[in-house]
Each structure stands twice: as C-alpha cells, then as structure tokens.
Amino acid sequence: MHPNALLDLTTQLVREVLKLDAPADSIVSYFFRQHKALGQRERHALAETAYAVLRQRLLWAHLAQSGHGPMERRLALLAWQGQPHVLKNGITTDEGQWLERTAMIDRSTLQDKLRHNLPDWISNSLREQLGAEEFWQLIETFSAGAPLDLRVNAVKAKREAVLENLVAAGIPAVPTPYSPIGIRIEGKPALQKMSIYTDGHVEVQDEGSQLLALLTGAKRGEMVVDFCAGAGGKTLALGAMMRNTGRLYAFDISGHRLENLKPRLARSGLSNVYATQIAHENDDRIKRLRGKIDRVLVDAPCSGLGTLRRNPDLKWRQSPKAIEELQVKQKAILNSAARLLKPGGRLVYATCSLMPAENEVVANAFTAEHEDFVQLDAREKLEQAGVTQAESLVTAAGHLRLWPHRHATDGFYAVAWEKKA
C-alpha cells in the first residue's frame, strides 16, 4: 500500500480511537474488519500508531497545534516520526518541515503534564505513592509497552521443556523472575501456530496475574471458586494448581466472557472447571455453596489502571467518580465471596489497579468489618507456592503490590485472609 493511502487510513483510525467511546482494542478490531484487504504488516503499523497516540496524547496534541491540516493526521505523523522511509513518500514538504521543527523541541523543558501524559488525578496519586524519581520511572514503562509472558500448564508440561522448545524454534525466552510457572518472550512471535500453544502446554498470561493465582494456594481435591472469572486466565492457572482434581467454579456475570474460556479450557485438558454465568454477587447459585469452599479468588472489576502499558486509553476513559462507583461494587462482591468459605479457607482479593481507593482502602475496610477473618502475610504464602524473591513483591502491611517499573509486570494488588476456625 502506498504510504499516502496508509497515512489516510491511519488518520481515520486515530480519529475513531480518540472518540474514547469504547475500548481501544475493540475499535481497532472493528476497523480491521471494515478493511479486510490490509496486510499483517499494515495492521501492525496502524494499531501501533493508534496506541502511541493514546500514550502521548497530551504532548502530541500540544505539538500539533502549530501544524496544518486535520489534527488526527498531525498526530499520526508524530507517531511516524521515527520512520523516515515511510514519511518520505507520504507527506508534503510543509509537513516534513513541521516535523523537523517539532523534533528540535527539548521535551524536558515542557511542563510535567505534557511529559507524563496523565490526567492530574492519576498523576497526583502515583506521585504521592512513589515519590518523584520512581514516578518518572513508571511513566517510562507506560510508554515502552509490555513483554509477552506465558504460563506453563503444569498438567501437561514442564517449564524447562517448554523453554527448550522455544529456543529451538529461534524464539528468545527466559524464565520469569518470580513465578515458578512463567516464561518471558522477546518480541511478538506467531505463538498461536506453535504446537506448545495449540496442545495447551502454555497460555498467554502476565507474570503478575500468575502470582495472584499462586497466592490462593489452591491444592488437589479442593473446592475452589474464581468469583470474577472473566475470560478465565486465572481459572486455568488454578485448575492446573489443583492438578485437574476437585471442583473449580468459574463465576462471571458476562456469558460472552465465559464463552471465550471454552476454547482455552479445551486446550488446557482440564475437566474440573464448572463455568457458570451469574446475575449478580448474591445469585442463588452462589448461595448454595456458602460455607463449603476451600479457596476463593476475587479478581474484582476495577479501573484497570495497572494495565496502561497495554491499554493506554483507560487513563482517558476512567474518572474519580468511576473509581468511587467501583469501590462500592468491590466491597459488595468481596463481602458476598467471603460467605462461601469454610473455616480455615482462604480468601484472596485482587485488582489490576494502581489506585489505593480500589486496593488498600477496600482491603482494610474488609479486615476491620470481619472479625472472623485474619489477614495473611502474602510473602509467606507466595514463598510456599514456590515464588522467588517474594519479599520484593510485598508491602510492609503484608499485601502483594506489583509495579510495572519495579517488577516488569502489569500493576497488580492482592491481599489474602483466612477464615478463622
């Protein structure tokens, strides 16, 4: 495709994602369905441009004020700035001169807001939690994208064998530093065509997400509930920890998300999973299990702000009011899930958020209101699950707290309690 035509299409896609009226990944997918003639390389270029614009929106919108033509085209040009071979054939002389002028601007002299590209309410909270130096380290990781992590399905394979298979296929792969069942891969290989994927030996899962499953400590023959299962990444991890024994209930209010679990479940070889759509956190199907469950994982609905490396649109689509509403829902779900546990059972509350309002505030309120639960030390429980360097993952309060710039995972939070006997 001629660079000019590709630039026109990129401008269209940027215009669509900047409406912020739906998740960016669904807008990109829909756009590609409308343009079936696009090749793989062109799709990659368009998607990367759209995500780059979402990451750098404030800075590039500021720089684009000095140019001419549609704003979305100028934003796309800024995203393409590092690709002179593409730009040479697709832009006007004026646009080329404008790009040269913007490249000369010393970004470090610009105001903070243009450098961190975050709404004030998010940047203020992160700066307060981390301090100035670490705050800017975190900002760098948001712009860098995320590595590809795999979880080895222990029911079917061993990590060493999978690593050998990947290296033999010319794919650079290393063990994850914390999770004993994880592998980190460089680049974006065509994994779905490989036998280790089609045969269910591995699943794509961020190392942080693996650690949440490991914190539950699920064992053979137990009754376990994944309370907000979604597409089932943690469900599959729990099922493998249980060695395909016992009963594992995957609850979610979205039938569509549970449908997406089916092909993954088939590949995994697990037969101990019972996926069930529920109407709400007090559904009768949940009430029947009260007091019978050994482990419950509540991966609560949250802002998702820990996933900004992958989903940069979330910082523009969330708000303080949305966080307040989520907190009410999180507390209700956690209280309902707690009723399922038998004495001695373990409850884990988790989010992929960086906001204390969704994390420590919810967890501390639960601890204060439930004298029949005692909080566990996450470090001890992670070490028991074979996690290495667990002390670097846990706060002074004994909560799991993962940061993209410290741990190279998405931003995750988790706390575990045991129901008193």
Render pLDDT for 312-353 as a digit per residue (tens, 0 to 9): 999 999 999 999 999 999 999 999 999 999 999 999 999 999
Tell me, what amino acid is at 161? Answer: A
Whether pLDDT at 246 is above 80? yes
* pLDDT attached to residue 369: 97
User: Higher-confidence residue: 259 or 298?
Assistant: 298
* pLDDT attached to residue 328: 97
Q: Using CA atoms, how far apart are residues 312 and 206, in angstroms rounded to an integer?
A: 17
CB 298 within 8 A of CB 415: no
Q: Give me the phi and psi of 356, to 5 degrees please.
A: -55, -30
What average pLDDT score do residues 92-113 get? 89
243, two tokens: 């060695």
* pLDDT attached to residue 86: 61
Percentages of the chain per state (helix, strand, coil), in multiples of 5: 50, 15, 35
* pLDDT attached to residue 235: 96
Q: To the nearest 10°, the Cα dihedral for 224, 209, 329, 363?
A: 90
* pLDDT attached to residue 63: 93
What average pLDDT score do residues 182-209 get? 93
Among 92-96, 139-143, 192-196, 315-319, the range scoring the smallest mean pLDDT is 92-96
Q: Give me the phi and psi of 293, to 5 degrees please.
A: -100, 140
pLDDT tens column, 49-91: 999 999 999 999 999 998 888 999 999 999 987 665 566 667 8
What average pLDDT score do residues 116-128 get? 97
* pLDDT attached to residue 186: 84
| pTM, 2 dp | 0.93
Whether pLDDT at 3 is above 80? no
pLDDT tens column, 17-28: 999 999 999 999
Q: Using CA atoms, how far apart are residues 225 and 208, in angstroms rounded to an integer?
A: 19
* pLDDT attached to residue 280: 83
* pLDDT attached to residue 392: 97
Q: Using CA atoms, how far apart are residues 222 and 224, in angstroms rounded to an integer?
A: 6
Residue identified by tokens 């343009």 is: 35
* pLDDT attached to residue 82: 67
* pLDDT attached to residue 260: 87
Strand partners, 276: 251
Q: Using CA atoms, how far apart are residues 253 and 348, in angstroms rounded to an integer?
A: 19
pLDDT tier at 162 (50, 70, 90 boundaries)?
very high
By percentage, how much of the chain surpasses pLDDT 90?
80
In order of 50, 63, 169, 316, the CA distances from 19 in angstroms are 12, 20, 41, 10
339, two tokens: 């009723």
215, two tokens: 């914190």
pLDDT tens column, 273-305: 999 898 888 888 888 999 999 999 999 999 999
What average pLDDT score do residues 389-398 get? 97
Average pLDDT value for the chain: 93
Q: Using CA atoms, how far apart are residues 80 and 84, in angstroms rounded to an integer?
A: 8
Size of the chain, expressed as the number of residues it contains? 421
Residue 295: helix, strand or coil by DSSP? strand
* pLDDT attached to residue 90: 72
* pLDDT attached to residue 363: 98
* pLDDT attached to residue 85: 57
HSE value, Cβ hemisphere, 13 Å, CA-based, for 305: 26
Whether pLDDT at 195 is above 60? yes
pLDDT tens column, 327-337: 999 999 999 99
What average pLDDT score do residues 120-126 get? 97
What's the distance, CA 5 to chain centroid?
A: 33
Residue 389: helix, strand or coil by DSSP? coil
Whether pLDDT at 213 is above 90? yes
